[in-house]
Structure 1
């Protein structure tokens, strides 16, 4: 029977492979997993960044744009559920990670061949299926191989540093420039190459983690989904995750196209503006995750969703015409003003590895990590990533292209209030309270 894990204290935390792993190997592991997930997001974000080029050629509606984002999230979520569980059952992390990396690289190439909405939709479904298992496996490897005292920072870097430098920053800047010089199809072909290199690095430089020892009386390597949801932190993380994943995917699905097609921003300025989100989130992968190690997971989870309101409010209230002629480095004045606003609001991205990985992995024993991480990520993607963009797209078609900005604000506010129900799991914060944490 699962218990409310945060109410049980006094047991020694389970030992993991970090006891025998050198700090050098732990650093290498986090770096390569961060690089690999960065390439995942480079491929995932490619379509969003290239949408101003793709939409006119394929004549996509706002609803179809939302369906493309939602479809990838759906197959991503299904893969996160089942590949994470398979990884726990087989005890094979490394080989499954390599297979997934090669598969999503191939799918990126196929996206460049699309000639219709249905063709592109099918390609994105396949890409989501290939990519979905990457993060649950990666976080399970970090949880077992890296010292728990640095787990929040390590998981923050693994999920956020590479994904934001490569996916959120490099993808719009590099691919928009490449599409401008050649075409959006060649940009997709370019996006397929880095994954093959990453798969080779993982193959040669990382070792297969040793399976976690089963506690006395345990007969299964996995926990039931219903049983996991009996733990408060699990369902709170999932609810927050649903809201914030919807916030993230809706932002990326509609913001680039909105800035160009509705606000009149040139593609160059748009690429650097949305790219600033990547720089911000890469910095916050250290700052927010490291801060949560020191002051606790709950405070940052509650405060940062409210801070994210500044982004959509800034886009709604600021008139592009008021900033003509004040741009710098070739950027429009509107982009120049919005960059610091986006930079501040996007600090919320630093919470993603906390509710998707750090809190669940601290709430459950290592033997269940890939399963519960796959559950957390899969549920967030299914309900937030799948339904959020199509609903926002339909609202845009019905009420105007800026409607998604109001949706973003609503998601952020509700998320902040729901996070107030979390129970603290950070070892340092609990130690200050004279407590230890016993995973379920």
Structure 2
């Protein structure tokens, strides 16, 4: 009973933490119309601001995630990261031009990068096997979807409209400080409680070596899947609004309604898919829901009626649920517990470099040469390939292979 109580408490705190990361990350997109008028920014500037955050996020997640695995305690890393990205987001309210905003976005990426791998490594250790997929899905998908994509737009736009966009940035420091305090007060680090010195030994450092991780079939597959799936996600969220307005000639309000369906789907599927995977297995869940996710961008091309498109988008935008599996649950169940943050940081980092940094630019050039529908076909391919790659995953769900076998695959005796 005590373990279940702490598990729920940790889940709530880490959900707030990573949810607020995406609240800050997506804030620029929602506030850009206000910022661009005052600072004379273009869409090209917006693209560069998005890319630089993805780049530093990727590098930071991979390196600091690995570094945290070598620490006696990961909790201080998480506290510092939450405070740092909150302060940097708040300081964005003082920018005077593109270069200063670019600098703060780059620094924000560095601060935000380790939050997910460190959070998921803590959650993986504290979760009961039957709830691991569900718990990690809530933190990885439902929380950022709810705070970043559902609640974020109306809150930020209201603040910008009534008090100015600078105020919207400035007040973002408040929830970050509160979350950091909750982590400091209530989050335990099982590594610290069990053995403070274990993470510093030469033997464990060998476990956190990236070359060793890349000998693990599931880790390699999850890296490749992340490259494709980040392409699917980033292209849809970046290009869908413009596509719906320019290609289908939907009014802005109609476009906003359809995009809100993506937000609700993000929240729902992010815990539904992992919860289903706890029962039927990680591999079949990845194959089935990736194939469904590949249909979503195609529907945006061929369904001309907004009233029909909206519910179809809601039921086919399933990929964010798969994100939890390949970016957190499967690698956590496939590697030594002492190297979880390293594995998660590696998968997220490489995926962000390819899908978050490179794919939007490539898709933009392709759209200029071949027309807007090509970006949706690229997005669809970003889910089809993971559906194929997932066939080769080794099953890790405890309900399907047993807890002992999962521990054996992870290298735990």
Q: TM-score, normalised by structure 2?
A: 0.88
Matched, 1:249 2:234: yes
Matched, 1:84 2:84: no
Match of 2:187 in 1: 206
8 Å CA contact retained: 2:333, 2:406: no
Match of 1:278 in 2: 263
Match of 2:123 in 1: 142
The separation in 2 between residues aligned to 1:270 and 1:115, in whole angstroms, is: 31
SS at match of 1:424: coil
- How has the CA–CA distance of structure 1 residues 414 and 267 changed in structure 2, closer, same or farther, with 3 Å as cutoff? same
Matched, 1:416 2:400: no
8 Å CA contact retained: 1:26, 1:146: yes
CA shift, 1:281, in A, is 2.1
Match of 2:28 in 1: 47
Matched, 1:306 2:326: no
CA shift, 1:101, in A, is 0.8
The separation in 1 between residues aligned to 2:55 and 2:235, in whole angstroms, is: 14
The separation in 1 between residues aligned to 2:17 and 2:344, in whole angstroms, is: 18
SS at match of 1:220: helix
Between 1:255-264 and 1:203-212, the stretch displaced more is: 255-264
SS at match of 2:401: helix
The separation in 1 between residues aligned to 2:186 and 2:83, in whole angstroms, is: 16
Match of 2:366 in 1: 395
Match of 2:203 in 1: 219
- How has the CA–CA distance of structure 1 residues 242 and 165 changed in structure 2, closer, same or farther, with 3 Å as cutoff? same
1:160-214: CA deviations, max 9, x gaps? 2211110121122332344445544443334443222211222222233334665
SS at match of 1:210: helix
**Structure 1: runs of 5+ lacking an equivalent:** 1-19, 324-333
The separation in 2 between residues aligned to 1:116 and 1:229, in whole angstroms, is: 42
CA shift, 1:338, in A, is 3.2
2:301 to 316, 319, 327: 316
- How has the CA–CA distance of structure 1 residues 56 and 300 changed in structure 2, closer, same or farther, with 3 Å as cutoff? farther
SS at match of 2:103: helix
8 Å CA contact retained: 2:289, 2:319: yes
Residues 247-396 of structure 1 aligned to structure 2 (within 5 Å): 247-259=232-244, 265-319=250-304, 334=306, 336-396=307-367
Between 1:172-181 and 1:152-161, the stretch displaced more is: 172-181
Match of 1:327 in 2: none
CA shift, 1:86, in A, is 1.8
1:167 to 148, 159, 182: 148
1:227-281: CA deviations, max 9, x gaps? 1111110110010011111221222223234445665555554444323323222
2:218 to 233, 241, 264: 233
The separation in 1 between residues aligned to 2:237 and 2:87, in whole angstroms, is: 22
**Structure 2: runs of 5+ lacking an equivalent:** none
Match of 1:155 in 2: 136
8 Å CA contact retained: 2:88, 2:104: yes
SS at match of 1:309: helix
Match of 1:103 in 2: 84
The separation in 2 between residues aligned to 1:28 and 1:179, in whole angstroms, is: 33
CA shift, 1:38, in A, is 0.5
Q: Which has the higher contact order (CA 8 A, sep 6+)?
A: 1
CA shift, 1:155, in A, is 1.0
The separation in 2 between residues aligned to 1:418 and 1:56, in whole angstroms, is: 45
The separation in 2 between residues aligned to 1:203 and 1:285, in whole angstroms, is: 27
8 Å CA contact retained: 2:236, 2:297: no
Q: How many residues align?
A: 405
- How has the CA–CA distance of structure 1 residues 66 and 125 changed in structure 2, closer, same or farther, with 3 Å as cutoff? same
Q: Kindly indicate which of the two structures has a greater share of residues assigned to helix.
A: 2
- How has the CA–CA distance of structure 1 residues 264 and 171 changed in structure 2, closer, same or farther, with 3 Å as cutoff? farther
Q: TM-score, normalised by structure 1?
A: 0.83
